[in-house]
Chain A
Amino acid sequence: MKLELRGITKRFGSLVANDHIDLTVEAGEIHALLGENGAGKSTLMNVLYGLYQADSGEVLLDGEVQHFAGPGDAMAAGIGMVHQHFMLIPVFTVAENVMLGHESTKAGGVLDLPTARAKVREISQRFGFHVDPDALVDDLPVGVQQRVEIIKALSRDARVLVFDEPTAVLTPQETDELMGIMRQLKQSGTSIVFITHKLREVREVADRITVIRLGKVVGEAAPTATNAELASLMVGRAVELRVHKEEPKLGDPALVVEGLTVIDPVGHLVVNDVSFTVRRGEILAVAGVQGNGQTELTEALVGLQPRVRGSISLDGIELSTASVRKILDAGVGFVPEDRTEDGLIGEFTIAENLMLDRSEGAPFIRAGSIQRGVLDDFAREKVAEFDVRTQGIDEKVRQLSGGNQQKVVLARELSRELRLLVAAQPTRGVDVGSIEFIHKRIVEARDSGVPVVVVSTELDEVTALADRIMVMYRGRIVGIVPGNTPRDVLGLMMAGEVPAEGAAA
């Protein structure tokens, strides 16, 4: 089916998310939509899918103008979507999720589950998926959940399939498999829109590439374009894709973790007997697919997990039983995974957010009251130093872009006397320009002799920053390998495979 978007414009208040976007996807074509976070890709697709109403412009399928009042209409017209955040109900089974919204029923509205199961099995077999129709979605790995999303779309006879950032949650192997599935779908005549900001994937699978920046189409490219060309189109200027760093000047072991186990409320060992050492002046990158215990590991390091066994010591001080306050006072800086949830208070100003972890006393508090003058000077200095693009230190943090919010978190954490820096997903949802900056600051912290633990699910980031790489899988360490370990080896390790030759740390 041929899909055309003509002059789509969508505004949110004063923000123009899509500005007269034209896009044509031929039948049986994989069309990549490339752009940074916040460029307007997802908005465009939500307009296509009927979730948003465009302010102007039209959607055409095989030359006919469509009017979608909601996703139901879009699906009926043959559009399917694999959402970035899966639209699956975790407490339902696969079959229930697939049938939801177009249930086959027996008399009296009673669900006909056998038919739904058969449908799941039939589509699974067609594409070589192994999906159990009766498994609870919550129990499935993300890669399989994504296949459930694909099955869901195909069970409604989708002939245009939109993949919204589908590889963000996948291991490199799963990503390769997904590319295979996309090619298979293309061969069966399905048109595919592939939204991503990852250049490698685009070049591998796309037939055509459209680049979007700040809500506008800024160019088309062929898959033969180089990474540098695509990146500069996407960002609007030449971009440095590599991180410059010197050989590490290793000091004494600083962070020593031994036999660390974290138990969740149900009793799962989400971190299972983990031991490692980080030396001063070294970056240890923790790689792994989202949800393999990295979040819990970082939270345990800063004392946010209630059920912890084993020992965490920093410069000889035991931290596993210390309070969060004690841990911060011991010089641990923490960049949390979800800055809006754990890192910042959106309704507070930049200045207030900068003193959040120092509300105990001098210099910002005297006799129980906030020293506004001291705080403002400090905030102005940090805003300038960390290049936070803002109208002023009294702007609410909620109004900043993701990259600038992250700079505020980083500014706060790095402005204390640090003896350890723990950074979880430091560049998630951050624009390319800010990524460069944040990486530079992390490397600077290392070079000043601070031991650094960086957790990332992006292999590019891991290999760019790491002096050593620790791969986690299902709460355990698969291995600790040198920073220059090839991607394919890391990919296998992320799937739980121990590297062939003894991985020495």
Chain B
Amino acid sequence: MSQTVQQPAPASEVVILPTTVVTSWKAPIAFAAFTLGALALAVFVPREGVTTFRLSTPSDVIQLPELSAPSLATLWVIVALLVLATAYSISLVATKRRVPLWLIVVFAILFMVGFLTWAAAGSTIPVIGLLFGTLSLAVPLIFGSLSGVIGERVGVVNIAIEGQLLAGAFTAAIVASVTGQVLLGLVAAMIAGMLVGMVLAVFSIKYFVDQVIVGVVLNVLIIGLTSFFYSQVLTPNAALLNNTAQRFDRLPIPVLSEIPIIGPVLFRQTLVVYLMYLAVALVFFGLFYTRWGLRLRAVGEHPQAADTVGINVNRTRFWNVALAGSIAGLGGTFFTIGSGIAFNKEMTAGAGFIALAAVIFGQWDPIKATLAALLFGFAQNLQNQLSVIGSPVPSEFMLMLPYVVTIFAVAGVVGKVRGPAAAGKPYIKS
């Protein structure tokens, strides 16, 4: 008989149950696998030579020296560090403790440096270019994930991000080409994204159609529509409807753009990227510190509770899904006028789905989702850079990289965090 004397708690006390640590061997096993991978590179495919990391661009005011390291020796040092980190993680889990996030981050960075040193043996890695490209490629993912965060937080799963991005890219290209005004193209893209969002909202909120199905159908619809117009209308009239004369120019911000490393990466970008910084900050602040955000989250968590305090659930959902659509549409401009590229069939290539993964990996938080999108952007850009350097890894394998990272990232986080309770569920009043 186990009995413990316990004092009755005063009613206002927060219930705290005794806890134990639920240990997971996921991290040590993953660490060990990556460490073995690095070891295998060092043993079976050793690459001699010197790897150079270039930290400045030629136009920088402040020039940082290049870093050079002997490839194989560096890789061996890193393998040793990885072994240490793995051993530490095993000892943590064996003694019923959790593997802290910093260890995972340190491990990932070490592994990345080791891999880059190996892959670029005998050549130079432009660090600035790597990071700049990361940010650029992450732009549509970040806009898309903000759209997803708003949608799910208000209770509507936005699978149609892909379609919204594509609609934005398409509309921006045409409107900017015809009018000669990039800003009009931008506004048109937002409207296009919003319209896609509204269709999703009407079907899922008013007619209770399964949100995932409506989203998937919308994606297919937009792909079909834009591909049709591309081949039948845009291609024959490319000079008028789909030219590359209209594009956002880079706007270096004085002073800030001269900070070593950070400056060239963050502050020599286009208006679309600066709008992205603003959007992330606004969505984060709005969600957690304003009436708009409080009501939005209430509707996504417990719509009936929101209803009983006089909030119109379906109206709140409708307009916020429309807003989310316009944000994704804005992100779509990156593909065409944001980068000075003509519209092409299915040019978003699954970015909307990766953005959706970023939403979940980012735990429905705008800042974390942005970081997740940056990670995916990095994976994508790494593949570009390595094929330029001419790394020994087959390019087909490198093309898989962004998607492999996505799967592992999402698998690692699923089950740990709870999303908005009412996401995906229509609110039906009797």
Inter-chain contact B1/A275, CB cutoff 8 Å: yes
Give the CA-CA distance A301 to B13 in the complex, in Å: 30
Residue ID in chain B nearest A43 by CB atoms: B430
Q: Which of A51, A266, A275 contacts B2 (CB 8 A)?
A: A275
A135-B307 CB under 8 A given contacts A96-B294, A266-B22, A498-B5: no
- CB-CB nearest in chain B for A503: B3
Contact B2 A274 (CB under 8 A): yes
- A505: chain B residues at CB < 8 Å are 1
Per a CB cutoff under 8 Å, which of B13, B22, B306, B309 touches A75? B309
Once A91-B301, A263-B20, A496-B7 are accepted as A-B contacts, the answer to whether A12 and B1 lie under 8 Å apart by CB is no
The reply to whether A272 and B18 contact each other, CB–CB distance below 8 Å, is yes
Tell me, rounded to whole Å, the shortest Cβ–Cβ distance linking A501 to chain B. 13
Asked if A90 lies at the interface with its beta carbon under 8 angstroms from chain B, I say yes
Q: Mark A469-505, 1 if CB is under 8 A from B, else 0.
A: 0000111111110000000000010011110000001
User: A356 at the A/B interface (Cβ < 8 Å)?
Assistant: no
Which residues of chain B are within 8 angstroms of A272 by Cβ–Cβ distance?
A: 17-18
Q: Does B292 belong to the interface (CB within 8 Å)?
A: yes
Complexed CA–CA distance, A337 and B48 (Å): 67
Candidates B1, B11, B430; contact of A174 at CB < 8 Å: B11
- On chain B, the residues within 8 Å of A473 by CB distance are 6
Kindly name the residue among B20, B290, B415 whose own CB sees the greatest number of chain A CB atoms within 10 A: B20
Query: When the two chains form their complex, are residues A144 and B308 in contact, meaning their CB atoms are under 8 A apart?
Result: no
Decide if A89 touches B1 in the complex (CB within 8 Å): no
A111 to chain B, nearest CB (A): 6
- A87, A111, A276: which contacts B309 (Cβ < 8 A)? A87
Within 8 Å CB of B297, what residues of A? 89, 91-92
Kindly name the residue among A99, A101, A496 whose own CB sees the greatest number of chain B CB atoms within 10 A. Answer: A101
Question: A-facing mask of B1-31, CB < 8 A → 1, else 0?
Answer: 1111111111111110111111000000000
User: Are the CB atoms of A140 and B14 closer together than 8 Å?
Assistant: yes
List B contacts of A267 (CB < 8 A).
19-22
> Which residues in A have their C-beta under 8 angstroms from that of B20?
263, 267, 269
Complex Cα spacing A132 to B10, Å: 13
Are A475's CB and B6's CB within 8 A? no
A51-B15 in contact (CB<8A): no
Shortest distance between the CB of A72 and any CB in chain B (Å):
3
Is A89 a contact of B18 with CB atoms below 8 Å? no
A174 to B12: give the CA distance in the assembly, Å.
12
CA distance in complex: A70, B304 (Å): 12
Contact among B290, B308, B312, B421 with A81 in the assembled complex (CB-CB below 8 Å): B308
- The reply to whether A130 and B11 form a contact with Cβ atoms under 8 Å apart is yes
Q: Which A residues are in CB contact (< 8 Å) with B17?
A: 268-270, 272, 474-475
| Contact residue among A90, A105, A111, A177 (Cβ-Cβ distance under 8 Å from B302) | A90
- How far apart sit A37 and B11, CA to CA, in the bound complex (Å)? 29
**Does B15 contact A109, Cβ atoms closer than 8 Å?**
no
Q: Contact size class for B?
A: 35 or more
Contact B15 A100 (CB under 8 A): no
1/0 contact string of B326-341 vs chain A (CB within 8 Å):
0000000000000000
Which among B21, B289, B305 is the interface contact of A88 at CB below 8 angstroms?
B305
Q: Cβ of A265 < 8 Å from any Cβ of B?
A: yes
Q: Is the CB of A266 within 8 A of B19?
A: yes
Instruction: Say yes or no: A111-B291 contact (C-beta < 8 A), given A139-B14, A473-B6.
Output: yes
The answer to the question of A378 belonging to the interface, with a C-beta cut-off of 8 Å to chain B, is no
Taking the closest CB of chain B, its distance from the CB of A502, in whole angstroms, is 9
Contact for A100 among B3, B9, B311, B421, CB less than 8 A: B311
- Cα–Cα, bound, A276→B307 (Å): 46
A354 CB → nearest B CB, Å: 31
Q: A496 vs B289: C-alpha distance in the bound complex, in angstroms?
A: 39
Known: A267-B21, A268-B19. A496 touches B301 (CB 8 A): no
Given contacts A105-B291, A111-B291, contact A49 B22 (CB under 8 A): no
- The verdict on B298 contacting chain A, using a C-beta distance below 8 Å, is yes
Q: How far is the CA of A75 from the CA of B415 in the complex (A)?
A: 39
How long is the Cα–Cα vector from A91 to B365 in the complex, in angstroms? 14
Is A92 in contact with B12, judged by CB distance below 8 angstroms?
Answer: no
- Complex contact B311–A141 (CB within 8 A): no
Query: For chain B residues 140-166, which have a beta carbon within 8 Å of chain A?
Result: none
Is there an interface contact between B294 and A103, defined as CB atoms closer than 8 Å? yes
User: With A70-B307, A110-B289, A267-B19 in contact, is A497–B302 under 8 Å at CB?
Assistant: no
Q: Are B11 and A476 in contact (CB under 8 A)?
A: no
Contact status B12-A130, CB under 8 Å: yes
Partner of A49, one of B11, B308, B312, B430: B308
In the assembled complex, how far is the CB of residue B312 from the closest CB belonging to chain A, in whole angstroms? Answer: 8
With the chains together, A265 CA to B19 CA distance in Å? 11
**Residue A83, interface by CB 8 Å:** yes
User: Are B18 and A100 in contact, CB atoms less than 8 angstroms apart?
Assistant: no
Min C-beta distance of B298 to chain A, whole Å = 5
Q: In this assembly, does A307 line the interface, its C-beta being within 8 Å of a C-beta of chain B?
A: yes
- Option from B290, B298, B302, B308 in Cβ contact (under 8 Å) with A108: B290
Q: Which residues of A contact B15 (CB under 8 A)?
A: 139-141, 474
Interface-centre pick from B9, B292, B310 (highest chain A CB count, 10 A): B310
**Which residue on chain B has the smallest CB distance to residue A136?**
B14
Docked complex: A124-167 residues within 8 A CB-CB of B: 129-132, 135, 139-141, 143-144, 147, 152
Interface residue A200 (Cβ < 8 Å from any Cβ of B): no
Neighbouring A residues of B54 by C-beta, 8 Å: none
The answer to whether B295 has its CB under 8 Å from any CB of chain A is yes
Contact B291 A269 (CB under 8 A): no
Most B Cβ at <10 Å: residue of A90, A100, A275, A307? A100
Q: Is the CB of B3 within 8 A of A109?
A: no
Chain A: CB-nearest residue to B98: A267
Please, how many angstroms separate the alpha-carbon atoms of A73 and B308 in the complex? 10
Tell me whether B3 and A479 are in contact (CB under 8 A): yes
Q: Are B11 and A143 in contact (CB under 8 A)?
A: yes
Interface residues of B (CB under 8 A from A): 1-15, 17-22, 289-292, 294-295, 297-298, 301-302, 304-312, 415, 421, 429-430
10 of the cross-chain contacts (CB-CB < 8 Å) are A89-B298, A92-B297, A100-B294, A102-B309, A129-B12, A174-B11, A268-B17, A272-B17, A274-B2, A474-B6
6 other contacts beyond A71-B310, A100-B306, A273-B2, with CB at 8 A cut-off?
A89-B305, A100-B311, A101-B310, A132-B12, A268-B17, A275-B2
> Footprint of B on A, CB under 8 Å?
12, 49, 51-52, 70-73, 75-76, 81, 83, 86-92, 96, 99-103, 105, 108-111, 129-132, 135, 139-141, 143-144, 147, 152, 174, 177, 259, 263, 265-270, 272-276, 307, 473-480, 492, 495-498, 505
